[in-house]
Structure 1
Amino acid sequence: MLKYDNATFVPSPHCDARPDDAQVSLLVVHNISLPPSQFGTSGIRDLFMGQLNINEHPFYREIAGLRVSAHCVIYRTGEIEQFVPFNQRAWHAGLSTYQGKSRCNDFSIGIELEGTDTLPFTDEQYTALTKLTHFIVKHYPHISLGRIVGHNDIAPGRKTDPGVAFDWARYRKTLINLL
């Protein structure tokens, strides 16, 4: 069970084994906030744990029953929670395709940033994401810089995250310097 030492592990029930022939070779960056555009709530954790209280916010009724997760969430403070060990399949990508290969959950790692498409992410999030990516790439050498994408890249027209506020140039430059 591969976990990141700098994360708090909160095991989600929304995961399963990867196919036997799956080779982890893609990192997918997402954003999420629950309720939408609100930060510092328990909404993300509750969703990934299957414990979302639909009476806490009207939006929660719209997503009631969703069974989703990500490998890790990086909060605005830079704190990281890991919900699924990297060697298991998290349910983050949904209907998705990358370079002609569908079912991206089978061969990808999903990292959520607490945020929205349009609000800037924090310095702490970029620092944490860079360090976490470095750890992942060391353990999964088939994930190259060219195989780090946004959710929008694998589900175009359906997803827009991590959004226009995510600074890809900053992230890649810092990551290159670290690698």
Structure 2
Amino acid sequence: MQIVDHRLKPGWYKASPHHGGALEAPSLLVMHFTVSGAGAKGVADYFVSPTANASAHVVVGRAGEVRQVVPFNVKAWHAGRSVWRGRPNCNDYAIGIEIDNWGRLMRTADGQVRSSTSRILDPALAVEMTHKNETRPCLWEVYGETQMSALVAVTRAILAAYPTITEIVGHDDISPGRKSDPGPAFPMGRFVSLVGGRGDAPALTRTVVASRLNARGGPGMQFDTLGVFLAGTRVEVLYDSPGPWAQVKGALAGGGEVTAWVSDQYLA
């Protein structure tokens, strides 16, 4: 996959009418989910429709299909109200990638796992996790390996063509509280590892360097402590967003495994 004249080859689809002015020297790559089961083509068709009033640069489907609807040197309308490191209006300096994914799911009274549109889904596609900006766990759709491989290929091409990009973040990082995508099921740490070319990167692990590291129910001191990780414990990093907190899974002191949030500065 390569980028020619700011278009993915292969991957270019058709131009969306929903875009802004020139995007010069982008510094940020923002990951989104679509809250859809329409596939890359279906979402791309929506973005090019006259009524959408929204767009992203690229859509990546569950089966690995890729569609681009805004050239990378043009501002897409994906971020909305947003700020990153004190700089507002992320559309002005960010490339946006939409990943076809239902995001938040629910288990209804009949025991079925359903999407926000009440579509019945395979329970194997759901994982219970707590969003870093929330306090209670819920179900989220997992991201499949075929889709992740396509996403890694697209991202590598973008970073090679636009070396001014220095950070990869989620929509929930630049619009916390307002947006929840790409959600806790998106393996940000592993994704960044794969993009960097570090082998197959089945999991990103780090080592606890504090003598005792509190495992909390959410990303902040206000969340309850679920237990303690001891120095030297290897933990799997599930979500390592830019900021002071990381979501990890590992063995607690005294036994038992937990998924929890820890202060990132105490992981090596």
For normalisation by structure 1, the TM-score amounts to 0.81
Choose between structure 1 and 2: higher helix proportion.
Answer: 1
SS of alignment partner, residue 29 of structure 2? strand
Distance 2:73 2:40 in 1: 28
The 2-side partners of 1:153 and 1:39 are apart by 25
Superposition map of 1:113-128 within 5 A: 113-117=99-103, 118-128=140-150
Is 2:28 the partner of 1:6?
Answer: no
Match of 1:112 in 2: 98
1:46 equivalent in structure 2: 45
Deviations 1:38-80 (A, max 9, x none): 34486523321125xxxxxxxxxxxxx5400000000001100
Contact 2:41 2:67 in 1 (8 A): no
Q: Considering only aligned residues, what root-mean-square deviation do their CA atoms show, in Å?
A: 2.0
Q: Which residue is equivalent to 1:31?
A: 33
1:74 aligns with one of 60, 78, 81: 60
Q: Distance in 2 between matches of 1:27 and 1:73?
A: 13
Cα displacement (A) at 1:6 = 2.4
Which of 191, 203, 219 is 1:171 aligned to?
191
State the partner residue of 1:16: 20
Does the CA contact (< 8 Å) of 2:79 and 2:90 recur in 1? yes
Kindly indicate whether residue 206 of structure 2 is the aligned counterpart of residue 156 of structure 1: no
Unaligned runs of 5+ in 1: 52-64
Distance 1:42 1:9, change over 3 A: closer
Q: TM-score with structure 2 length normalisation?
A: 0.55
Aligned mates of 1:178, 1:132 — CA distance in 2: 16
Pair 1:138 & 2:142 matched: no
Contact 2:40 2:61 (8 Å CA) reproduced = no
Q: For residues 41 and 176 of structure 1, do their structure 2 counterparts lie closer, same or farther at Cα, with a shift above 3 Å needed? A: closer
Q: Which has the larger radius of gyration?
A: 2
Note if contact 1:134-1:178 (Cα within 8 Å) is conserved in structure 2.
Answer: no
User: In structure 1, what is the equivalent of residue 87 of structure 2?
Assistant: 101
Q: Distance in 2 between matches of 1:46 and 1:116?
A: 17
5 Å matches for 1:52-71?
65-71=51-57
Give the Cα separation in 2 of the matches to 1:114 and 1:154.
20
Deviation track 1:69-119 (CA, whole Å, cap 9, x = no partner) reads 000000001100001000000000001101000110011000000003311
Shift of 1:177: 1.6
Q: Structure 1 residue 128: deviation in Å?
A: 1.0
Q: How many residues align?
A: 159
Cα distance in 2 between the residues matched to 1:135 and 1:111 = 13
Query: Where does structure 1 differ by over 4 angstroms across 4 or more consecutive aligned residues?
Result: none
Distance in 1 (CA, whole Å) between partners of 2:40 and 2:15 is 18
1:15–1:90 Cα contact (<8 Å) kept = yes
Whole-Å separation in 2 of the counterparts to 1:176 and 1:46: 31
Give me the identity figure in percent: 39
Label 1:171 to 1:96 Cα distance change in 2 as closer, same or farther (>3 A).
Answer: same
The alpha carbon displacement at 1:168 in A equals 1.1
SS in 1 for 2:191: helix
Counterpart code for 1:167: P
Alignment partner, residue 134 of structure 2: none
Query: Which structure has the higher relative contact order (CA within 8 Å, separation 6+)?
Result: 1
Give the corresponding residue for 1:83: 69
